[in-house]
Amino acid sequence: MKPDYSQVNSDGVTVSNFKEIKHEDLLYREASQPSRDLILANNAELRKNPGVIRDLSFARLSLRIPLLDMEILKRKYKILRDGSNQEQRDFWHKFMKSSESLPYRVY
């Protein structure tokens, strides 16, 4: 019987699946977020209904990014890991104007 290497991470949001490759003597990890599709579908619904999201007293909710997608963005854009607050703020303003941000936009 093959052991089950799946586990729910301690944050309760992501699931790690491990695959053992015996002839390479390696263990590979693949992470998934079961709620990802729900988050993106909810974002699409919010975009259909402008005015549902209200401005907060200090800011406006603009993006909802699933946890694993955020990790991918951090790997893709070094500024999200190493940039100053102002550099990151400038990046997010530019990112929001790009088509790459569409699945994450809430308005």
16-75: pLDDT as tens digits: 777 777 777 787 778 888 889 999 999 999 889 877 777 666 667 789 999 999 999 999
13 and 57 share a domain?
Answer: no
25 and 44 share a domain?
Answer: no
Is residue 4 over pLDDT 90? no
24 and 44 share a domain?
Answer: no
78 and 95 share a domain?
Answer: yes
Is residue 8 over pLDDT 60? no
pLDDT band at 1 (very low <50, low <70, confident <90, very high): very low
26 and 63 share a domain?
Answer: no
d(CA 63, CA 102): 9
* Residue 65 CB contacts under 8 Å (≥ 6 apart), including other chains: 73, 104
- Count of domains forming the chain: 2
For 54, the domain range is 35-104
Parallel, antiparallel or unpaired: strands 26-32 and 7-8: unpaired
pTM: 0.73
Q: Hey, what are 70's tokens?
A: 């955020």
